[in-house]
């Protein structure tokens, strides 16, 4: 039973699993924080980070040849899923006595990829996610560029690709398909078919099924035998730290102590610890949800950003959950401990047998009903894995990304975000989003590690170019930034073009966020037209009105704007809204613009290519 349960941990949905991520960090810092006013106290000393992949290895080829490794696993991952799958595959290969090298492509010299032929019988496996408009993840950008332009000969290299994507996006799994195609074009031999994981349906199941075919296929191709011995060793040895003066790891990514001694440049591996200036509610009293406006101070221009960029926020876990897991594991949270890595070469995860018949049960009990590790430990109280086993299975708590809702033109020392707090019930269990519930309790002067992620969503260079912005709910966030920027430019005496906004919410009294600000922009002429769709008001005779309905109502004007060279921006829900809006534009192109279906499609793609149609959507 314990094995079965642990196998579920190994495949836990990322959203649920992150609820208890960083518990190790908490254990490490627990003693310190209780007597400290700041969560980031200065006493820090290196203790092996839970996932220490930060070392740069610019010559992975020599590492592979000198250590007799023939398998390279690369991951393109933004929020950790691809990285997790790469680690799991490496563990799987252990069972064939293969020590794979798992690498973040950002930590290698991408040119060395062409030298893979120097390795004896090389196998390269890629776990790559797709983002944006079919783009690579940040960490795979250089590799993508290299492979795009490469003309090397990879004959003799065998490969297989697993892509991570989501069918609600137009460019479904573009990166997986790209790498699979290009490696073959460069002469490498596909040893097992491309796997495509759909995060909208069941990515875990897609991966498990692919892996089920992948492992025997590679084993057959290389004549590898299953070994009974391999794969059972543990990665960490648990040791209590007795020294009361010991300094503890606080969850920093790269440089230990980075939260205290902040040194630019600030990025994912070196976040800036920003002070919160304001954290206020945007929804009305009658709303049954909460939407927060949060201003972070990045004084001294230490973090630069542009209107339309994203802010990544690193949360820590809910302390109640940490207490729960401590007591469920009989772990004294007042003790400081260290995890000694007993297998430096290993990535963190170890496989537990997850038989096919468990998959259905897993899909229902864990994924559909969103059970966290804590729920499982509570349900099966005889299950008490050693703390170090559990920590070995948990991936690092990942940053969450938010569209920035301010413009640096107004105040470059301040970054705003706008976020609905995720909270809902399944049965009698309350499910809480990790980061928004972490943020909701923050008050002025509290701090949080953040970094800016560049986006491609940008206002047109020419101020006179007309724009249409469509952003229901928190999809309004980047457009608040756009309006601040254009308003500032207008104040400088510049001529600005027509700006139309389509905003949507449920009810004017509940969730009409930034109402006063928007009305002021309308009054002073920054906003030319403002159309607000309410989906849950009786006045509409119970009819749900969405932004796409208002676009259609104004179709003649919308078409005129497009003919005048308008740029169109869409932000918010990818699953329904973005698709419905896109379909509405297609209808406007045909029914008002007189285009045929094919011409309408071409116009749409041309607009995307010319960056006249830009979307920042999520699901």
What minimum distance in Å lies between the beta carbon of 402 and ligand FMN? 11
445 C-beta neighbours (distance < 10 Å), count: 11
> What is the three-class DSSP state of 20?
helix
- Residue of minimal Cβ distance to ligand FMN: 165
Phi-psi region of 187 (alpha: psi -120 to 50; beta: other; left: phi over 0): left
Q: Which is nearer to ligand FMN, 53 or 77 (CB)?
A: 77
Return phi, psi of residue 601, to 5°: -65, -40
Is 343 a residue of the active site?
A: no
Q: Which is nearer to ligand FMN, 75 or 272 (CB)?
A: 75
From the list 448, 455, 571, 573, the catalytic residue is: 571
11-22 per-residue burial string, b: 16 or more CB within 10 A, e: under 16: bbbbebbbbbbb
What minimum distance in Å lies between the beta carbon of 546 and ligand FMN? 21
Is 616 a residue of the active site?
A: yes
Of the candidates 583, 605, 603, the residue with the CA atom closest to the CA atom of residue 593: 603
What minimum distance in Å lies between the beta carbon of 22 and ligand FMN? 17
Please measure the distance between the N-terminal and C-terminal CA atoms of the chain and give it in whole angstroms. 35
Binding site for ligand FMN (CB under 6 A): 77-82, 129-134, 137, 164-166, 169, 171-173, 199, 203, 618
Return phi, psi of residue 76, to 5°: -110, 110
Is 288 a residue of the active site?
A: no
What minimum distance in Å lies between the beta carbon of 612 and ligand FMN? 19
Is 500 a residue of the active site?
A: no
Phi-psi region of 261 (alpha: psi -120 to 50; beta: other; left: phi over 0): beta
What minimum distance in Å lies between the beta carbon of 137 and ligand FMN? 6
Structure tokens at 614: 């830009």
CA angle 115, 120, 124 (to 5 degrees): 65
Using DSSP bridges, classify how beta strands 310-313 and 447-453 pair: parallel, antiparallel or unpaired. antiparallel
Q: Which is nearer to ligand FMN, 171 or 370 (CB)?
A: 171
The number of helix segments (H) and strand segments (E) in the chain equals: 19, 22
From the list 77, 160, 347, 403, the catalytic residue is: 403
Q: Which is nearer to ligand FMN, 339 or 570 (CB)?
A: 570
Q: Which is nearer to ligand FMN, 80 or 351 (CB)?
A: 80
For the CA atoms of 264, 267, 271, 274, the dihedral, rounded to the nearest 10 degrees, stands at 80
Q: Which is nearer to ligand FMN, 63 or 182 (CB)?
A: 182
CA 522 to chain centre: 35
The alpha helices in 223-365, defined as continuous H runs, are 319-328, 356-362
What minimum distance in Å lies between the beta carbon of 75 and ligand FMN? 7
From the list 224, 488, 552, 618, the catalytic residue is: 618
Please identify every residue annotated as catalytic. Answer: 403, 571, 616, 618
């Amino acid at each position: 039973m314990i094995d079965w349960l642990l196998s579920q941990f190994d495949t836990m949905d990322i959203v649920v699993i992150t609820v208890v991520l960083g518990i190790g960090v908490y254990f490490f810092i627990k003693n310190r924080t209780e007597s400290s006013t700041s969560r980031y106290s200065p006493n820090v000393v290196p203790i092996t980070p839970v996932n220490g992949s930060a070392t740069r290895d610019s010559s992975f080829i020599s590492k592979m040849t000198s250590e007799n490794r023939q398998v390279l696993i690369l991951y393109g991952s933004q929020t950790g899923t691809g990285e997790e799958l790469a680690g799991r595959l490496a563990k799987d290969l252990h069972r064939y006595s293969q020590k794979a090298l798992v690498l973040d492509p950002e930590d290698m010299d991408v040119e060395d990829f062409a030298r893979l032929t120097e390795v004896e019988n090389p196998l390269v496996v890629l776990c790559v996610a797709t983002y944006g408009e079919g783009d690579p993840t940040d960490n795979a950008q250089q590799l993508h560029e290299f492979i795009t332009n490469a003309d090397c000969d990879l004959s003799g290299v065998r490969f297989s690709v697993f892509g991570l994507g989501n069918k609600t996006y137009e460019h479904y799994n573009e990166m997986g398909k790209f790498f699979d195609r290009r490696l073959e074009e460069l002469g490498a031999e596909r040893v097992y078919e491309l796997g495509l994981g759909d995060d909208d349906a069941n990515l875990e199941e897609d991966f498990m099924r692919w892996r089920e075919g992948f492992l025997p296929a590679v084993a057959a191709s290389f004549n590898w035998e299953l070994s009974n011995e391999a794969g059972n060793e543990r990665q960490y040895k648990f040791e209590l730290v007795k020294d009361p003066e010991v300094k503890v790891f606080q969850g920093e990514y790269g440089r230990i102590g980075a939260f205290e001694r902040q040194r630019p440049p600030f990025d994912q591996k070196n976040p800036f610890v920003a002070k919160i200036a304001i954290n206020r509610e945007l929804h009305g009293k009658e709303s049954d949800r909460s939407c927060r406006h949060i201003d972070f101070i990045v004084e001294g221009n230490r973090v630069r950003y542009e209107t339309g960029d994203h802010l990544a926020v690193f949360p820590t876990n809910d302390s109640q959950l940490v207490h729960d897991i401590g007591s469920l594991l009989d772990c004294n949270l007042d003790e400081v401990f260290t995890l000694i890595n007993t297998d430096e070469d290993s990535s963190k995860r170890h496989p537990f047998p997850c038989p096919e018949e468990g998959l259905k049960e897993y899909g229902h009990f864990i994924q559909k009903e969103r059970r966290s590790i804590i729920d499982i430990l509570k349900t099966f109280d005889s299950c008490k894995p050693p703390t170090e086993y559990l920590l070995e299975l948990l991936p690092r708590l990942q940053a969450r990304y938010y569209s920035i809702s301010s413009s640096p033109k107004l105040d470059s020392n301040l970054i705003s975000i706008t976020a609905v707090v995720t909270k809902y019930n399944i049965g009698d269990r309350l499910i809480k989003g990790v980061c928004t519930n972490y943020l909701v309790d923050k008050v002025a002067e509290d701090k949080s590690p953040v970094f800016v992620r560049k986006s491609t969503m940008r206002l047109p260079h020419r101020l006179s170019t007309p724009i249409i912005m469509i952003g229901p709910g928190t999809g309004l966030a980047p457009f608040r930034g756009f309006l601040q920027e254009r308003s500032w430019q207008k104040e400088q005496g510049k001529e600005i073009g027509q700006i139309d906004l389509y905003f949507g919410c449920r009810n004017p009294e509940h969730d009409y966020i930034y109402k006063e600000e928007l009305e002021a922009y309308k009054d002073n002429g920054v906003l030319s037209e403002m159309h607000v769709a309410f989906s849950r008001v009786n006045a509409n005779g119970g009819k749900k009105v969405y932004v796409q309905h208002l676009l259609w109502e104004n179709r003649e004007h919308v078409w005129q704007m497009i003919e005048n060279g308008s740029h169109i921006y869409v932000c918010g829900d990818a699953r329904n809204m973005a698709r419905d809006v896109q379909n509405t534009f297609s209808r406007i192109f045909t029914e008002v613009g007189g285009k045929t279906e094919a011409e309408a499609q071409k116009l749409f793609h041309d607009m995307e290519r010319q960056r006249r149609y830009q979307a920042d959507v999520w699901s």
